[in-house]
Amino acid sequence: MIDVAAVSALNDRMALEQEQRAALRILEGIEEGTMSASDSFALVEDADPALVYLIFTWLRKRYADHANSDAVIGRLLAISNRGKVPKMMKEGQADAVVQWFEESYSYRDLGSKEFIELIIEKLEG
């Protein structure tokens, strides 16, 4: 007999992990320059506005005083002014998840994977 609750929990976990991988791909693509601005923009455009705001803010905060800041912030700017991204940023900034994160955590205190796991679990939870 199939345990429906166990199967449902497994499906939920797999969906959560898939969302985390997609979000990390956006963040690392911008951070490491592994994707073109067009490819990054396509992923960002399909993402949750709160996630977009949080990722972009994490990158700005983490690279404000970093030796590689010009490259990372340059890639970020190449995406952040395109299409509906400015509107998404404004919408995301007003999201309750952003408020929760900013009241509870510091952008600079979390590594990329830990940051993404935390945010996706909160957004999907």
Quick one: angle between helices 4-32 and 112-124, nearest 10? 140
The predicted-structure confidence for 28-86, as pLDDT tens digits, reads as follows: 999 999 999 899 999 999 899 999 999 999 999 998 887 778 889 899 999 988 889 99
**Separation of CA 104 from chain center:** 17
Q: What angle do CA 37, 65, 22 make, to 5 degrees?
A: 35
Model's pTM, two decimal places? 0.86
Q: Residue ranges per domain, the chain?
A: 4-124
